[in-house]
Structures are given as C-alpha cells and as structure tokens.
Amino acid sequence: MAVNRSVSDKTLLDKFVEDFTAVVGRHCKYVVVSGFVAIAHGRSRGTEDVDLIVEKIGVKEFEALFKDLAKNGFECIQPGTPEEVYTDYLLEDASIRFVRKGSFVPEMELKLAKDPLDEYQIKKRVRLPLTGLNVYYSSIETNIAFKEEYLKSDKDLEDARHLRIIYAGKIDEKEVIKIKKMIKRYRLR
C-alpha cells in the first residue's frame, strides 16, 4: 500500500528507511525491526541506527543488492568487495552497516535471517499504516515480545509500553506468548 503524503512531515530517519528499503525490496524480502518500529509510531526518542533483517539470500543476490544500494547513494562501512563482506560478516551471522555516502548517521544495520525465529518474522511481516511509511515491519507482537523478553533495557521496555498503548485492544497476546517461547528456544538457550 503506497502512502501518499507530503515529504515535509517525514523525519530524516523516515526518509532514510524508505529510501533504503525501496532498494532492498527489489531484491529480497526484509523486515525493519526493533527501535525504529516504536519511533515510527511516535515514540519520542532518537536513534542512530535502524535494524533490518533480510531473507537468507546467496552471494550472487547479495552482490546485486550491494551494487544497487551503491548506485542509489548508500555505502557499506565494512570494507571489501560484496563477496568479501558477504563471507566475512553475513555468513558469520554478523551485521553490516550502510550509510548515505558522505554521512555517518543514520546507519542501516543489515543482517541475514539466521534462524527459524528470523524467518518467522519475515514470514509474518506487515505494513503498519499508522507509521505513514511504505515499509515492511516485523509484527507489533514480535516487537513487543523481543523488547519484553529478550532486550529488556529501560529504553526497550519503554518502547514496548509505547506500542502496547498505541495498539491497546488490538494486540494478539497469544501471538506475543508464542514468540516469547520462540525467543527462549532460539535465543536464550
């Protein structure tokens, strides 16, 4: 669903995320996760980076994505050829970071789906019209579950509380519990 709004009511973060994901979306499925989900819902805090999970693509697909991102003004902070970055970072389950050429912030922290929980987030990805952005996000239930069960910092618990208030009465609590169980299984073992 395309969102038709004037550019002026988008933050620098909004524009960065929309521009970046527009390129990524041409190559693979992705989800924006964590802090930006709360910020895009009006949470009053800043951040320097946005977290993005993409489906587990091969090196050839990544090379095409990497080149398309470069063509559209984004550069990878990690040094090396696309193949080297893919092998040295992404295949090691480490993230890589992209910025607009000539800038240091914001950063897009990109990683490949590494386990069934990441794959589940991509499978259940959603557009969230309240954000006003043409972007795929992990579900509200997923974000709440991660922040309450796994991340747990003051900032994360406040993000979760913010989302719970915004979506009061619309949150599938059984789904939150299901994802928390998956977090325990795949991340807290």
Residue type, 69: L
Of the candidates 46, 84, 94, 123, which one interacts with other proteins according to CB under 8 A?
Answer: 46
Q: Decide whether 1 or 189 has the Cβ nearer to other proteins.
A: 1
Burial class of residue 31 in the structure, from the number of CB atoms within 10 Å of its CB (0-12 exposed, 13-18 middle, 19+ buried): buried
- Pick the stretch among 113-121, 143-151, 163-171, 181-189 that binds other proteins (CB under 8 A): 163-171
Token pair of 135, please? 């972007």
Asked whether 117 and 182 are in contact (CB, 8 A), the reply is yes
Note whether 140 binds other proteins by CB under 8 A: no
Confirm or reject binding of residue 162 to other proteins (CB under 8 A). yes
Q: Please state, in angstroms and as integers, the Cα–Cα distance from residue 13 to each residue in 37, 63, 123, following that order.
A: 11, 25, 25
Question: By C-beta, is 12 or 126 nearer to other proteins?
Answer: 12
Question: Does 92 help bind other proteins (rule: CB under 8 A)?
Answer: no
Q: How many CB atoms lie within 10 A of CB 129?
A: 10
DSSP state of 147: I
Taking CB under 8 A as the binding criterion, the range among 35-43, 50-58, 85-93, 112-120 that sits at the site for other proteins is 35-43
If one asks whether residue 94 binds other proteins (CB under 8 A), the answer comes out as no
Main-chain dihedrals φ then ψ at residue 58, nearest 5 degrees:
-85, 175
Q: Which is nearer to other proteins, 43 or 125 (CB)?
A: 43
| Residues in the chain, total | 189
Chain positions contacting other proteins, by CB under 8 A: 9-13, 39, 41-44, 46, 48-49, 77, 97, 103-106, 130, 132, 154, 158, 161-162, 165-166, 168
